[in-house]
């Protein structure tokens, strides 16, 4: 008999890169170029000792996460500059965990 195995991987740990992008873009109303934004995010992650994989790999991950936020409509991109919109806090790990908790409570 065959058993069904769950093959989908789910990452349950907080996403520090997205959290720092939300932190920087959410607390500032100005627009950032990617390099300026990355420098702020990198400094914050180094201060929290949350940097792993090297700077270039982190730069690629940050760019991917930023483009994901743009696609979701949480960050506005004009030319080569990015600015957080009003709903950007929805992307933080704390907000996602609270929404998951609320959904779990509602399903009981």
Pairwise CA distance, residues 38 & 63, whole Å: 8
Domain layout of the chain by residue ranges = 27-91
CA 3 and chain centroid, separation: 35
Tell me which fold the domain 27-91 belongs to: Arc Repressor Mutant, subunit A (1.10.10)
Q: Which pLDDT does position 106 carry in this prediction?
A: 86
Q: Which pLDDT does position 75 carry in this prediction?
A: 95
Pairwise CA distance, residues 8 & 3, whole Å: 15
Write down the pTM of the prediction: 0.79
Pairwise CA distance, residues 9 & 3, whole Å: 18
Give me the tens of pLDDT residue by residue for the chain, a chain 108 residues long: 556 665 665 556 678 999 999 999 999 889 999 999 999 999 999 998 888 778 999 999 999 999 999 999 999 999 999 999 999 998 888 887 787 788 888 887
SS (H, E, C) the chain: CCCCCCCCCCCCCCCHHHHHHHHHHHCCCCCEEHHHHHHHHHHHHHHCCCCCCCHHHHHHHHHHHHHHHHHCCCEEEECCEEEECCCHHHHCHHHHHHHHHHHHHHHC
Q: Which pLDDT does position 103 carry in this prediction?
A: 83
CA 7 and chain centroid, separation: 24
């Amino acid at each position: 008999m065959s058993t069904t195995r769950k093959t989908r991987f789910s990452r349950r740990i907080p996403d520090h890169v997205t959290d720092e992008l939300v932190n920087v873009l959410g607390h500032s109303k100005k627009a950032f170029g990617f390099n300026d934004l990355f420098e702020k995010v990198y400094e914050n992650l180094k201060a929290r000792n949350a940097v792993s994989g090297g700077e270039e790999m982190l730069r690629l991950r940050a760019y991917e996460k930023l483009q994901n936020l743009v696609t979701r409509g949480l960050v506005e991109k004009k030319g080569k500059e990015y600015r957080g919109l009003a709903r950007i806090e929805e992307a933080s790990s704390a907000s996602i965990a609270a929404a998951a908790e609320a959904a779990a409570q509602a399903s009981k």
